[in-house]
Amino acid sequence: MKINDTILDAPKSELKFPANQTIELTAIPRYGYRFTEWTEKKGEVVVEVGEEETISVTMTCGREFIANFVIITYKVSVFSSPSSGGEVILKPLQPQDGYEFGTEVTITARPAQGFVFKEWTGTDLSTTENSASYVATSGKSITAVFTEKPSNILGWVLGGVGVGIIIIGVLLYTLTIKKR
């Protein structure tokens, strides 16, 4: 809070001013918070909510002003690419208004059957692990990128004959090799 040109960092300050002196009060939010309103004593609103961070008051008697602040919230939007590739899970679950500033959020990519997790995009997460942490200091749009699992190739040799089965999607091909 600032009174005239003096910045006060204490949660509560009591200062004395001569009668009828006009002073300016300025609400200065800390990082992660935003100013909502000034109230005077028992909740009587002095200035409409959020309109003015600086007010002028005349000291005609002892007065108590409160600068009201709320923590900033941030929304996290999550997507899967392709959408059938899997899901993204946020823990803790995101509140309707978003995460409060400074909340640590665990983001986990869970691949659908037939897919594997590849990477995160649209964020500064510097990992290719399917689980990562994010601290809410801004809104984010995060995409988990999934790819289809590679096809399995099975093969073996029995006696003098080589036999292999190649599995590609849902088609099966049998290859027989004879030794002469």
Q: Which of the four pLDDT bands, split at 50, 70 and 90, describes residue 28?
A: confident
Distance from C-alpha of 76 to C-alpha of 79, rounded to nearest angstrom: 10
Q: Which of the four pLDDT bands, split at 50, 70 and 90, describes residue 99?
A: very high
- Identity (one letter) of the amino acid at 170? V
Query: What does the pLDDT average to over 113-131?
Result: 87
Residues 6+ apart with CB under 8 A from 39: 45, 46, 65, 66, 68
Query: What does the pLDDT average to over 157-163?
Result: 48
Q: Which of the four pLDDT bands, split at 50, 70 and 90, describes residue 60?
A: confident
Please check whether residue 65 is in contact with residue 25, taking contact to mean a CB–CB distance below 8 angstroms.
yes
**Verdict on whether the full-model pTM lies above 0.85:** no
- Identity (one letter) of the amino acid at 74? Y
Q: Which of 80-89, 124-133, 134-143, 162-171 has the lowest mean pLDDT?
A: 162-171
Cβ neighbourhood burial of 44 (10 Å; 0-12, 13-18, 19+): exposed
| Alpha helices for 46-179 (secondary structure H) | none
Q: What is the pLDDT, as a whole number, of residue 58?
A: 86
Distance from C-alpha of 101 to C-alpha of 147, rounded to nearest angstrom: 33
Using the predicted structure, report yes or no on whether residue 71 has a pLDDT greater than 90: yes
Rg (CA), the chain: 31
Q: Provide the terminal-to-terminal Cα distance of the chain, rounded to the nearest Å.
A: 93
Order of strands, edge to edge, in the sheet holding 115-121?
76-81, 140-148, 115-121
